[in-house]
């Protein structure tokens, strides 16, 4: 996040993961699974390395992966992006977000996001020189007020950047909210950028890609990542799809950020995208159980749980324990009880930080006994 002096500090994920490692705490901070994804995908990467897929991939990604991404978009959403012109592979969703904002925005523009917002959004909007305006998502359901949403758009709104399913709140946005965003983007001629890295990780409400709504596709760039769907966050394979002209603009910037992305991982992920429905249903069902175990444990530990409908994360209010500064608590928690979590104010500007000052984000993408142990340790806070 940009500090008060405009500098970029160490990300909260690195800070809390370092604390967890130093203290040996259970790390429910940074969102990464504690079990690898499918063995068949790992084997495919190993085979690709052995077969010599070890030099630069094409800048826009291997044809095999771009074709698999197009097939995935058609299979799940009925979208038909052209693998040649409407898809690029990126070094994680993080690079797709950065290249998009740097390509499309600059000084004098406004980028609108919800708040809390994923930390890289604030940092990259700052790097681009644009102004970052926000619409609050309020507890307990973290859905935007549609009047406030409308009021936040201006003639300068160049990009509306949404994240659905939403990190850190676990909210999943319904059609009503998405169609209002499309209508406002049309009215103000803004580009919709949608970060859907948790597209397959919802537990109840089904994920609706905003690009599938009437009028949206021609102004929407959709970002996703293999990290979350396949539990390979360290491989950093992401992608972006949308209208050829917008994708070309992003690709121009990507050339100078990373040029291309990890060759042997690309075709392994291409195979992963083609896995059967049982894989996709299985990851969501498994994560739903983990969400329930952690949510129940947090509640028993005396925290107020704000229900999560998707992602890897659930928010809990520590005010129920008489704690008012979750940021200070998050820095002490690993040493105090051996659990690490992320304070929600880091995903906010000043007003939002005040509103969320007692909230912690916990990641539930961990083995069930690990979550149970973390809950037991948290219960000692009471």
Contact footprint for ligand PMP (CB under 6 A): 31, 92-94, 118, 163, 167, 195, 197, 225, 227-228, 233, 236, 238
Which of 62, 311 has the CB closer to ligand PMP?
311
CA distance linking residue 313 with residue 28, whole number of Å: 9
Residue with tokens 């324990």: 321
Residue nearest to ligand PMP (CB): 92
The 10 Å Cβ neighbour count of residue 368 is 14
- Which residues in 332-371 contact ligand GLN (CB under 6 A)? none
195 binds, among ligand GLN, ligand PMP, none (CB under 5 to 8 A by kind): ligand PMP
The interface partner of residue 30, options being ligand PMP, ligand GLN, none and the CB cut-off 5 to 8 Å by kind, is ligand GLN
CB of 92 to ligand PMP, least distance (A): 2
User: Is residue 13 close enough to count as binding ligand GLN by CB under 6 A?
Assistant: yes
Residues 25-54 that bind ligand GLN (CB under 6 A): 30-31
Contact letters (x/-) for ligand GLN, 130-169, by CB under 6 A?
Answer: -------------------------------------x--
Q: Are 72 and 227 in contact (CB under 8 A)?
A: no
CB of 320 to ligand PMP, least distance (A): 26
What is the smallest separation between the CB atom of 148 and ligand PMP, expressed in angstroms?
Answer: 21
**Cβ-Cβ contacts under 8 Å for 314 (sequence gap 6 or more):** 170, 291, 294, 295, 298, 305, 306, 307, 308, 361, 362, 364
Backbone φ and ψ of 217, nearest 5°: -55, -40
| Whole-angstrom Cα Rg for the chain | 20
Neighbouring C-alpha atoms within 13 Å toward the C-beta of 244: 5
Q: How far apart are CA 125 and CA 105, in angstroms?
A: 8
* Residue 92 interface partner, choices ligand GLN, ligand PMP, none, CB cut-off 5-8 Å depending on type: ligand PMP
- Helices 326-337 & 12-23, crossing angle to 10 degrees? 20
Q: Of the two residues 31 and 272, which places its CB atom closer to ligand GLN in the complex?
A: 31
Residues in contact with ligand GLN by CB under 6 A are: 11, 13, 30-31, 167
């Amino acid at each position: 996040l940009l500090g008060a002096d405009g500098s970029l500090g160490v990300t909260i994920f690195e800070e809390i993961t370092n604390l967890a490692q130093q203290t040996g705490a259970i790390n429910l901070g940074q969102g990464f699974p504690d079990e690898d994804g499918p063995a068949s995908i790992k084997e495919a990467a190993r085979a690709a390395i052995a077969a010599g897929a070890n030099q630069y991939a094409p800048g826009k990604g291997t044809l095999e992966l771009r074709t698999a991404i197009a097939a995935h978009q058609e299979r799940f959403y009925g979208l038909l992006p052209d693998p040649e012109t409407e898809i690029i592979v990126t070094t994680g969703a993080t690079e797709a977000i950065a290249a998009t904002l740097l390509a499309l925005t600059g000084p004098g523009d406004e980028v609108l996001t919800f708040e809390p917002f994923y930390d890289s959004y604030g940092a990259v909007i700052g790097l681009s020189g644009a102004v970052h305006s926000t619409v609050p998502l309020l507890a307990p359901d973290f859905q935007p007020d549609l009047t406030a949403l409308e009021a936040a758009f201006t003639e300068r709104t160049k990009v509306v950047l949404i994240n659905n399913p939403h990190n850190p709140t676990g909210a999943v946005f319904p059609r009503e909210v998405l169609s209002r965003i499309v209508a406002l983007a049309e009215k103000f001629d803004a580009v919709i950028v949608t970060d859907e890295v948790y597209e397959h990780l919802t537990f109840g409400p089904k994920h609706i890609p905003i690009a599938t709504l009437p009028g949206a596709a021609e102004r929407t760039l959709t970002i996703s990542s293999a990290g979350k769907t396949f539990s390979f966050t360290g491989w950093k394979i992401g992608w972006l799809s949308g209208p050829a002209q917008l994708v070309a603009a992003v690709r121009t910037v990507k050339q100078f950020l990373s040029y291309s992305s990890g060759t042997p991982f690309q075709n392994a992920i291409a195979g992963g995208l083609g896995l059967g429905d049982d894989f996709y249903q299985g990851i969501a069902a498994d994560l739903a159980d983990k969400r329930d175990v952690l949510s129940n444990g947090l509640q028993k530990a005396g925290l107020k749980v704000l229900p999560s409908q998707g992602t890897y994360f659930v928010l809990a209010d520590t005010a129920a324990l008489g704690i008012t500064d979750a940021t200070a608590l998050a820095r002490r928690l690993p040493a105090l009880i051996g659990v690490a979590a992320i304070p929600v104010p880091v995903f906010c500007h000043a007003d939002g930080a005040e509103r969320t000052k007692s909230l912690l984000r916990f990641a539930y993408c961990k083995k069930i006994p690990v979550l149970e142990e973390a809950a037991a340790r948290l219960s000692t806070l009471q």
